[in-house]
Amino acid sequence: MLKVDALHSYYGRAHILQGIDLSVRAGEVMVLLGRNGAGKSTTMKSLIGLVRPARGSIAFAGQQIAGWPAYRIVRAGMGYVPEERRIFTDLTVMENLETGRRPATDGPAWTPARLFDLFPNLGAMRSRPGGQMSGGEQQMLTIARTLMGNPKLLLLDEPSEGLAPVIVEQMAGAIAALKAEGVTVLLAEQNLHFAARVADRAVVIETGRVVWQGAMADAAQRSDLLHL
Ligand SMILES: Nc1ncnc2c1ncn2[C@@H]1O[C@H](COP(=O)(O)OP(=O)(O)O)[C@@H](O)[C@H]1O
Ligand SMILES: [Mg+2]
């Protein structure tokens, strides 16, 4: 699905990603673990084309996409949910979902009805303006709207960040349900407990380098990896 080799990215002269290697297999949930500032978001932005990688290769769904503009990478089937939620506050839940609609290239297309099965809260407030939703509901809506684009691979940047514990549990349940639907997910997280709930495999990054990778079940025993 995705194979990244020796990826380097800069902000100006600051060398942030210093050779990231990782792979994501179809149907799995892979988590990028690392402390604040480790380079998780920069990795995601480099994958989706919002940061242009200086060197390295990104093979995605059979194509070499490093250096492509974001719109082309989205069209190739990558979906991205940034750390900051970007819903339209004046549009209703339903209208927000419609803004994300793109045709499916393979498999059944996501519809609002299928998404409401996954995120029951959203179904109950389909006519509510986005601006009148809680942070957790907005986060779910951002994910649902991205799914309306029928991505092959979904990038989720810290979906549990800033959410109350009960909402974090709902989010974990939603990601598990997505996996059961066959969606491939690459997640960035600092929350080891949340990652352990949803991920199959983990890559730990520190100052832009991969320092560990393996099964999430093994990473969960290694809180030293994150210096938590
Ligand atoms: N737009 C930017 N310009 C300059 N430096 C940045 C920018 N965004 C992030 N950085 C720096 O890049 C490093 C990695 O940041 P980031 O990828 O956001 O880490 P994480 O998501 O793991 O917290 C940090 O040192 C951060 O300060
Ligand atoms: Mg980040």
Cα–Cα separations (whole angstroms), residue 214 to 25, 81, 151, 211: 13, 24, 25, 11
> Which of 42, 45, 156 is the best mutation target for the ligand 1 pocket, counting ligand atoms within 8 Å of the beta carbon and taking the most?
42
Please indicate, yes or no, if residue 185 is contained in any of the structural domains.
Answer: yes
Residue 222 carries which DSSP code?
-
Domain of 50 in residue numbering reads as: 2-223
Contact criterion met (CB below 8 Å) for 146 and 79: yes
- Residue of the CA atom closest to atom 17 of ligand 1: 39
Between the CA of 36 and the centroid of ligand 1 the distance, in Å, is 9
Look at the chain and report how many structural domains it folds into. Answer: 1
Q: Which atom of ligand 1 is nearest to the CA of 83?
A: 21
Residue 110 carries which DSSP code?
P
Report the CATH number that the domain containing residue 147 is assigned in CATH: 3.40.50.300
Please indicate, yes or no, if residue 228 is contained in any of the structural domains.
Answer: no
Q: How confident is the model over 114-171, as pLDDT tens digits?
A: 999 989 889 999 999 999 999 999 999 999 999 999 999 999 999 999 888 988 998 9
- The confidence score (pLDDT) of residue 227 equals 64
Distance CA 115, CA 124 (A): 12
- Ligand nearest to the backbone CA of 33: 1
Q: Is 111 helix (H, G, I), strand (E, B) or coil?
A: coil
- The confidence score (pLDDT) of residue 129 equals 96
Q: At residue 228, does pLDDT exceed 60?
A: no
- H-helix or E-strand containing 136? helix 135-147
- H-helix or E-strand containing 193? helix 192-198
Please indicate, yes or no, if residue 162 is contained in any of the structural domains.
Answer: yes
For 1-46, give the DSSP string: -EEEEEEEEEETTEEEEEEEEEEE-TT-EEEEE--TTSSHHHHHHH
- The confidence score (pLDDT) of residue 73 equals 97
Between the CA of 14 and the centroid of ligand 2 the distance, in Å, is 16
User: How are beta strands 78-81 and 29-33 bridged, if at all?
Assistant: unpaired
Q: Is 98 helix (H, G, I), strand (E, B) or coil?
A: helix
Between the CA of 195 and the centroid of ligand 2 the distance, in Å, is 15
- The confidence score (pLDDT) of residue 72 equals 97
